[in-house]
Amino acid sequence: MNISFIPLCEPTIHGNEWFYVKKCLDDHVISSVGGYVERFEKVFAAYLKGDHPSPLFAVACVNGTAALHVALLISGVQSNEEVLMPALTFVAPANAIRYVGAWPVFIDVELRTGQMDVEKLHDFIRKKCEIRGGRLVNRVTQRIIASILPVHILGHPVDMEPLVALAKKYHLVVIEDAAQSLGALYKNKKVGTWGDIASFSFNGNKVITTGGGGMVVTADPLLAKKARYYTTQAKDDPQEFIHHEIGYNYRLTNIQAAIGLAQMEYLNDHLTMKRRLANFYDESLIKVEGIKPFGKSLDAVSSHWLYTVVVDKDSYGMDSRELLFRLREKKIEARPLWHPLHLLKPFRSCYAHQIEVAEYLYRHSLSLPSSVGLKMEEQKRVVEAIRGC
Ligand SMILES: *Cc1c(COP(=O)(O)O)cnc(C)c1O
């Protein structure tokens, strides 16, 4: 039988993308200058703001990693200072911290949700840090800690209320990496609006896509202005080409913004589809012994970016990697979570605070096909393959 390949997570293009891109080309607005980038930024900021009173500013970037780099630049973190982040996430935020000459400090994650463990974060501050001259200092490395960078992984929010309280207490800037979690809510407020600065990604496999793209979001108009400055080569006098600082060419193009504008129109549909997929997996896998979906916290609404399960070899009969290969044989793409960052070569010298859960989840977890366009019969095939193993 000729069965089709089921990818992990591929983009869905609906219709208006074609229309807006054609309009872009017809109007000859294809570079970064022209109305589409601005419109995309406005629509994006308005979506995140919802009915909250304070204004919000969005600055589009070439990709999510550039958005993180800019977020760190405007956060004020200095070279050789430290940024607290989870050990279990995609490598981009750790890389971006190194771009500005700072160092990540790795914190463990919660067993139930896989998100940065705020209690362990607090434990690290209590046991390993002290205040010197009004700044929090890591006693192990003797470096100043400048900020916390929570990453909302897989679509689920980090426990932001206690995290923000800790940040306030110790004067740390909060930079949210919301690349995987556009549309997720924590205590009825969107992810990306809890910290001082947030970044998003519109890579092909994310909740919405522009092919490649990213966004920096902040409620502080001065920080937004600075972000725009850094993404456009730090131009202080555009006529005479005067630059007082090192800048970057990080602006999104109009063609990508046109795709993004159209994708924003379908964002709620994407979230509905993702929720439906997650519910079906939940219902179908609950009776499979040894397969445990990642947990949700009560005050969270996930965007269900990638549906992920923990595989217990003893009760399931095979481990996560054996299941991965079994699914691959059936033309179903699954994926382990990211290698814990503190074990990767570029970050081995960074301080990691008692990390256990991140390593456990890395070894035992598997993300399942979660495309917005996944058909019911395809999802049933995934469930059957897991049940039948
Ligand atoms: C995808 C992703 C990024 C980077 O986004 P790009 O657009 O691919 O550069 C950053 N952080 C996390 C957590 C991501 O998943």
Number of neighbouring beta carbons within 10 Å of residue 113: 21
pLDDT tens, position by position, 152-186: 999 999 999 999 999 999 999 999 999 999 999 99
- Band of pLDDT at residue 28, cut at 50, 70 and 90: confident
Residue type, 53: P
Q: In this structure, are residues 150 and 176 in contact, taking their beta carbons and an 8 Å threshold?
A: yes
Ligand 1 site, residue 155, Cβ cutoff 6 A: no
The candidate with the shortest Cα–Cα distance to 205, out of 342, 93, 343, 306, is 306
Ligand 1 site, residue 151, Cβ cutoff 6 A: yes
* Residue 53 pLDDT: 82
Percent of the chain with pLDDT over 90: 93
Q: In this structure, are residues 179 and 201 in contact, taking their beta carbons and an 8 Å threshold?
A: yes
Residue type, 12: T
Mutate to test the pocket of ligand 1, among 182, 197, 201, 305 (most ligand atoms within 8 A of CB): 201
pLDDT higher for 62 or 32? 62
Place of tokens 């896998």: 285
Which letter does DSSP use for residue 338 in this model? P
Ligand 1 site, residue 179, Cβ cutoff 6 A: yes
**Cβ burial 198-225 (10 Å sphere, 16+ → b, else e):** bbbbbbebbbbbbebbbbbbbbbeebbe
The candidate with the shortest Cα–Cα distance to 308, out of 387, 361, 368, 359, is 368
- Among 28-32, 191-195, 314-318, the least confident range: 28-32
Place of tokens 């290969």: 325
Pairwise CA distance, residues 279 & 304, whole Å = 10
CA 64 – ligand 1 centroid, Å: 5
Q: Cα 29 from chain centroid?
A: 30
CA torsion sign for 134, 136, 140, 142 is negative
Which letter does DSSP use for residue 344 in this model? S
Residue type, 193: T
- Band of pLDDT at residue 1, cut at 50, 70 and 90: low
* Residue 273 pLDDT: 97
| Mean pLDDT, the chain, whole residue set | 96
Which letter does DSSP use for residue 58 in this model? E
Q: Say yes or no to pLDDT of 238 above 60.
A: yes
DSSP string computed for 177-219 = E-TT-TT-EETTEETTSSSSEEEEE--TTSSS--SS-EEEEES
Ligand 1, atom 7: closest residue by C-alpha: 64
CA torsion sign for 338, 339, 341, 346 is negative
- Band of pLDDT at residue 389, cut at 50, 70 and 90: low
* Residue 161 pLDDT: 98
CA distances from 106 to 65, 121, 217, 318 (A): 18, 9, 24, 30
Angle, in degrees to the nearest 10, between helices 254-265 and 35-49: 30
Pairwise CA distance, residues 294 & 113, whole Å = 5
Ligand 1 site, residue 180, Cβ cutoff 6 A: yes
Ligand 1 site, residue 367, Cβ cutoff 6 A: no
Ligand 1 atom having least distance to the Cα of 63: 7
Ligand 1 atom having least distance to the Cα of 68: 10
CA 39 – ligand 1 centroid, Å: 22
Is the overall model pTM greater than 0.95, yes or no? yes
- Band of pLDDT at residue 367, cut at 50, 70 and 90: very high
What are the residues facing 177 on neighbouring strands? 151, 199
CA 77 – ligand 1 centroid, Å: 20
Ligand 1 site, residue 41, Cβ cutoff 6 A: no
Mutate to test the pocket of ligand 1, among 90, 95, 208, 337 (most ligand atoms within 8 A of CB): 90
Pairwise CA distance, residues 302 & 292, whole Å = 17
Pairwise CA distance, residues 247 & 349, whole Å = 29
* Residue 33 pLDDT: 66
| Gyration radius (Cα) of the chain, Å | 21
Pairwise CA distance, residues 252 & 117, whole Å = 34
Ligand 1 atom having least distance to the Cα of 202: 7
CA 290 – ligand 1 centroid, Å: 30
pLDDT tens, position by position, 114-123: 999 999 999 9
Mean pLDDT, to the nearest integer, of 238-256? 94
Angle at alpha carbon of residue 45, lines to 42 and 48, rounded to 5°: 150
Ligand 1 site, residue 86, Cβ cutoff 6 A: no
CA 177 – ligand 1 centroid, Å: 8
* Residue 388 pLDDT: 85
Q: Say yes or no to pLDDT of 344 above 80.
A: yes
Tokens of 233: 């080569």
Ligand 1 atom having least distance to the Cα of 153: 13
Mean pLDDT, to the nearest integer, of 90-116? 98
Ligand 1, atom 6: closest residue by C-alpha: 64
